[in-house]
């Protein structure tokens, strides 16, 4: 599964906004970070195409196309565990407007740590119902996952490095702490994403990548 790369600005889950690199503000360069993971759709898995026959990849054989959209996350940031619930809509269209039909589509939710490591994955299904004579339909899905607060919490020494007050003219004022390998590594380890997408086969992933 391909996930978006995390740069210094994205690392700024530790920031209340994305301040400029090395920006000096009263009280330090950072604000308190949230332990809640960012929520999104994993690259390449936000849509799915079904063919009839299933082995064909001809445009005329496209049966159903569905897209995942309106992805929203709610985070319960209380206690030792942090639970994230994601809701999303599935917009689908079919090639033939004939009899009523239900199409069940597989999806997943994954927790990604540090931008690359999938630490947990859960699968589910969502069913789209097409009324007779209709080519378009919509359904909603829900997925949830939990991470431990300890894993999403920065070590105190790193928090102090990030939040200590810096004054213009000081030697360390011009140095972005996120450029320090030990700080960057600690932030990555404590940075999580909750990503959803359709559970695609290898052929479906290849089709999405080559379109």
Residue 91 confidence (pLDDT) above 80:
yes
Q: How many CB atoms lie within 10 A of CB 22?
A: 15
User: Which residue in 87, 200, 65, 58 sits closest to 136, CA to CA?
Assistant: 65
- The model carries a pTM of 0.75
Beta strand 81-94 pairing with 136-148: antiparallel
Handedness of CA 181, 186, 189, 190 (dihedral sign): negative
DSSP label of 43: B
Q: How many residues does the chain have?
A: 211
Diameter of the chain measured on Cα atoms? 73
Q: How far apart are CA 27 and CA 12, in angstroms?
A: 17
**What interhelical angle do 181-189 and 156-163 show, nearest 10?**
120
Q: What is the pLDDT of residues 183-204, one digit of tens each?
A: 777 787 888 999 999 999 999 9
In contact, 43 and 183? CB cutoff 8 Å:
no
Mean pLDDT of 68-79: 91
Look at residue 165 in the predicted model and tell me its pLDDT.
65
Could you tell me the end-to-end alpha-carbon distance of the chain, in angstroms, rounded to an integer?
A: 17
Look at residue 155 in the predicted model and tell me its pLDDT.
74
Pick the residue with more confidence: 3 or 84? 84
Look at residue 157 in the predicted model and tell me its pLDDT.
72
Q: What is the pLDDT of residues 94-152, one digit of tens each?
A: 999 999 999 999 999 999 998 888 999 999 999 999 999 999 999 999 999 999 888 88
Contacts of 43 (CB under 8 A, 6+ apart): 2, 3, 4
Instruction: Extract the runs of DSSP E, i.e. beta strands, from the chain.
Output: 38-41, 47-51, 62-77, 81-94, 101-113, 117-130, 136-148, 192-198
Q: What is the pLDDT of residues 156-188, one digit of tens each?
A: 777 766 666 666 656 555 566 666 777 777 787
User: Which residue in 186, 111, 198, 105 sits closest to 147, CA to CA?
Assistant: 111
């Amino acid at each position: 599964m391909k996930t978006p790369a995390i740069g210094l600005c994205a690392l700024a889950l530790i920031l209340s906004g994305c301040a400029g690199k090395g920006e000096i503000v009263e009280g330090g360069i950072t604000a308190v970070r949230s332990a809640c993971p960012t929520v999104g759709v994993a690259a390449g898995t936000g849509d799915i195409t079904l063919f009839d026959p299933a082995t064909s990849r001809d445009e005329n054989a496209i049966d159903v196309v569905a897209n995942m959209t309106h992805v929203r996350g709610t985070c319960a940031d209380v206690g030792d565990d942090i639970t994230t619930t994601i809701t999303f809509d599935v917009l689908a269209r079919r090639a033939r407007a004939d009899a009523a039909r239900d199409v069940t589509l597989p999806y997943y939710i994954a927790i990604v740590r540090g931008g690359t490591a999938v630490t947990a994955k859960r699968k589910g299904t969502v069913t789209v119902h097409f009324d007779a004579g209709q080519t378009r339909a919509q359904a909603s899905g829900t997925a949830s996952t939990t991470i431990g607060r300890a894993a999403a919490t920065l070590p105190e020494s790193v928090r102090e490095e990030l939040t200590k007050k810096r004054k213009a003219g000081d030697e360390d004022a011009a140095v972005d702490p996120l450029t320090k390998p030990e700080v960057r590594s600690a932030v990555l380890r404590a940075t999580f994403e909750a990503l959803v997408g359709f559970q695609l086969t290898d052929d479906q992933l290849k089709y999405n990548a080559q379109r």
